[in-house]
Amino acid sequence: MSDEFYRAFEDRHRGSRELIKERICVYLPFILLLKEIYPNGLVLDSGCGRGEWLELLKENDIHASGVDLDEEMLSACIDAGFDVINGDAIDTLKKQADESLICVSAFHMVEHIPFDVLQVFVAEALRALKPGGLLIMETPNPENIKVATENFYLDPTHIKPIPSGLLSFLPEFYGFERTKALRLQENKALITQEKISLADVIDGASPDYAVIAQKKAGVDLLKKFDDVFSQELGLPLTSLVNKFDSRLLKIEVKAGQAEAKAGQAEAKAGQAEAKAEQLHTELQDVYASRSWRITAPLRWFIHQVKLLRQHGLFSRIKALVKKITCPFIRRAIAFIVSRPELRFRLVSLVRRLGLYGFLKSTYLHISRSDQPMPPSSTQASEAIPDKLQSLPSTALRIYAELKTAVEQREKESG
């Protein structure tokens, strides 16, 4: 693989210098404590790449040098005036004197080397570090499902992901006093967010992590680092999974409650429909009864008296005349319409007599009055109480018929 290709790849996928510097600021509290103890101490950055960490250390007056095999990546460091070596990181570390460094750092280097070489790197770092010195190893976090299954393999020089439990155990095994795993670069909003989606579970855990290991030293020196080693950073996968499970459980509970309510409503609707059918049967029995047939003339008479009171004598006489004459007029009109010649003669006659407009309007009025008008939705809804509006249409029809029959019987008994 050419150096030019890998430099272009890093520029595309690693991010800008400003972004990387912002991310690695998380290590400054550790390094600044070391500077207080060892003012002239030296940091060796293994696999320094474009030199973002070297630049940040220089800005904080910390002496540092870097080493990298990629000449193209080192060109940015050389242009910036950093102290760098083109060579192998392990070989360079082996050349360092015992207890000569305050920190050995390796940002996204350990995933590029075989595990047995990594073991050598950790052992050599322990030898070269001063008492209380730090080993920092940052790498992609396989706890993030998308990183472990896709993003890690974007880089063709990666060998395999290293779980944080394994990378933390290495310094402990070789004799470091304590280690700390820091999860990094997660979406901060997800830490407090309760509504976690499946996509968040897959891609939300911290995409990177770092293991910071400290070499043995005196109690007073180590105590200065207690606060920074006690901090908890990042977003573990288990936290996202627990939130997602909790959300699913709440949804299942709500779905169960909704289903129970739907079942209760269905049962009530079934009971109401059964009751309506029972009342319908009783109503049909009333209609079929002998007393209903015998009292039919009386009901008609009471109804006519009611109409007479509501509309007056003249209106009822007019309605009676209309009822008697309209059928005759309709039959006459139908007779005339079915005979075109007769219709033509009569139309000519009424035009000469000046009666055409009057007779036409009368004809149209009779035609319209012959078509029954359906009751409006407002009238229908007013006739049925609100609490019964949700009943099926069959039940509503039965209710209306029963109501009419009950009202009629009350009038008869009154």
The model carries a pTM of 0.64
CA 327 to chain centre: 68
| Residue 383 pLDDT | 57
- Does an H or E element contain 137, and which? strand 129-140
Neighbours of 277 (CB within 10 A): 13
Sign of CA dihedral 330, 331, 334, 336: negative
Return the domain boundaries, the chain.
Answer: 3-235, 291-413
| Residue 378 pLDDT | 43
Write down the CATH number for the domain with range 3-235. Answer: 3.40.50.150
| pLDDT tens per residue across span 300-330 | 778 778 877 887 877 778 777 777 777 777 7
Q: What is the mean pLDDT of each run of 10 residues along the chain (414 residues)?
A: 63 77 95 96 95 96 95 90 95 97 97 96 98 98 94 90 97 97 93 91 95 97 96 93 91 88 87 84 80 78 79 77 74 79 80 77 65 45 59 71 73 61
| pLDDT tens per residue across span 271-280 | 888 888 888 8
Residues with Cβ within 8 Å of residue 133, at least 6 apart in sequence = 34, 41, 99, 101, 102, 103, 104, 214, 215
Reduced to 3 states, what is the DSSP secondary structure of residue 10?
Answer: helix
